[in-house]
Amino acid sequence: MPASIYVADDEPVLLNALVKRLSQGQHQVKAFKSGDELLAAVDQGFPDLILLDLKMPGRSGIEILEALRKKSQDAMVVILTAYGTVEEAVEAMKLGAYDFIIKTVDLKMVDPVVNRALENLALRRQVEGGAKDKAHH
């Protein structure tokens, strides 16, 4: 099922590679060079999934994740990190990140995490839809 995906990363080569790979899955993908650009975009509406780099100039991925959480508790966020520091990944998960991906040249690692996140989102929406239906009866 095609999804809307926002990707924020300050490395143009990786950003372009991620957009190209995710677009092949028929997803609608928008790229952002900074977390602040991403935050401005979500003011117009949230995508199904956000891939967010942990280390960017300006505000860090953790700070952007905190700002996203203030706007929406439900946003599905996957953290991208080249540094793979366990502490930061754990901190991101405590703030509600769904998962994290350690950035490598092998982009095949992205697909399973993105697919799991989108399946989780679809299930969550089904459950919420069912709960809303019951509330209306």
Q: Where are the domains of the chain?
A: 4-135
Angle at the Cα of 91 (from 23 to 107), degrees rounded to 5? Answer: 25
Which pLDDT tens digit goes with each residue over 19-39?
Answer: 998 998 789 999 999 999 999
Q: Does domain 4-135 bear CATH number 3.40.50.20?
A: no
Alpha helices in the chain (DSSP H): 12-24, 35-42, 61-71, 86-94, 110-135
pTM of the model: 0.82
Split at pLDDT 50, 70, 90, the class of 136 is low
